[in-house]
Amino acid sequence: MKKKHLMVALGMTLVLAACNNDDEQNNATDVDESAEIASINDETITEGEFVAYMKNEFGEMAFNQMIQSYVFNQAADELGISEEEIQAELDDVKEQFGVESEEDLLEMLQMQQVPVSDLDQLKEDFIIPQVVIDELRFQDVEISEEDLEAYYEENQDSLHQVEARHILVEDEETAEDVIAELESGTDFEAAVEEYSEDTNSIPAGGNVGFFPREDVMEENFSETAFELEVGEISEPVESSLDYGYHIIEVLDRHDSFEDVREDIEAILNEQEARSPNEVVEELMNEADINILEDEYEDWFQLPEPMM
C-alpha cells in the first residue's frame, strides 16, 4: 500500500539512528581512561574525561534511543518482516526522493545531515523501523469496495486529474504564431525548446504532470486543461498570474473510478490508520524494559501519552 509522507517517516526513525548498538556499525575501541587524546596549551584531555563528558551531555538521549532501537528490531523479528518488504520500502523511499540507486539515496540523505553511512545502516536505522510502524499502523484497517465507491461519488471533483504540457510565451500574438506552427506539423517538444519561457518544464518537454482542478495550477490554466480532450491543443490562454500566454495540450485524464481507485484506497487507509506516534507509544509501553543500574533509572523515559 502506498501510504506515507516521507518526512514523517524519517522524523519517526531519525531518533533511532544516532546511537545504534550494532557491532558492525560501532567503530569505537575499548576506552583507555588515562590516554591523552588532545592538548590545549599546557592542558590535556584524556579519553576518560571525553567519555564522561559525552555521557553527561548526551547520555540520557542516547540511552533512550538505544532502547527504542532494540524495541523496533525485536518487533521486526516478531512480525516476520521479510527482505522483500524491506526492499519495497527502500524502493518507495527512492521514488519519493526522485533517485534511481541506493548510492544516490545515501548521498542525498547525507547532504541533508541524516546520520547514515552505508546501505546496511540505512535499512537498520530507517527502513526496518518504518516497515514496523506501517505494519502496525495499518494492521486492523479494512476498507471495503463500497467504502471506495462511496468516497468516489462524494469527492469526484477533487479526485479527477489531467496530465498536460504547455508552452509559455510573452504575448498573445506569439502564442497564435506557435499554434499555427503546431497545426502545420511542428513537434510540440521542439516548440517548447524554441519558444517556452517556463524554464522549469522545458527539460520535460513542457510536461507539468498530473494535477487536480484546484489549488495546484493557476486558475485559467486549470480551467482550460479540464475542458480539453486528450490530444487537443488550446487556443492562447492568458495567465492568471500575468506570466504571459499558455498553449496547453492535454496528454491524459484520470477521471474514472478505476483511474483513481488506488488514490482513494490510500486516502481511506490513511484516515483509518493509527498515527506513527501511537504505534511507537504502544511498542514502548508493551515492551518488558527493566533498568538494572540505579544511576540510569531516572534517564529512562516512556513516550508522552497521546492527547
What residues contact residue 115 under an 8 Å CB cut-off, 6+ apart?
A: 14, 17, 18, 125
Q: Helix, strand, or coil here: 233?
A: strand
Residue ranges, the chain, pLDDT below 70: 1-29, 303-307
- DSSP secondary structure, 265-279, as one string: HHHHHHHHSPPHHHH
Predicted pLDDT of residue 305 = 56
- 260 CB neighbour count, 10 Å cutoff: 21
Predicted pLDDT of residue 29 = 55
What residues contact residue 64 under an 8 Å CB cut-off, 6+ apart?
A: 299, 300, 301
Predicted pLDDT of residue 304 = 65
Cα separation values, 205 from 20, 100, 241, Å:
45, 21, 22
- DSSP secondary structure, 134-180, as one string: HHHHSTT----HHHHHHHHHHSHHHH-EEEEEEEEESSHHHHHHHHH
Are residues 244 and 266 in contact, defined by beta-carbon separation less than 8 angstroms? no
Predicted pLDDT of residue 213 = 92
What residues contact residue 91 under an 8 Å CB cut-off, 6+ apart?
A: none
Predicted pLDDT of residue 64 = 87
Q: Helix, strand, or coil here: 56?
A: helix
Mean pLDDT (the chain) is 87
Give per-residue pLDDT as tens, 121-163. 888 888 989 999 999 999 999 999 999 999 999 999 899 999 9
Give per-residue pLDDT as tens, 213-232. 988 999 999 999 999 999 99
- 233 CB neighbour count, 10 Å cutoff: 17
CA distance 128 to 160: 35
CA angle 271, 137, 145 (to 5 degrees): 50
H or E segment to which residue 199 belongs: none
Predicted pLDDT of residue 62 = 85
CA distance 133 to 147: 24
Predicted pLDDT of residue 23 = 42
Q: What is the pTM of this model?
A: 0.66
**Phi then psi for 95, rounded to 5 degrees?**
-65, -45
Predicted pLDDT of residue 150 = 97
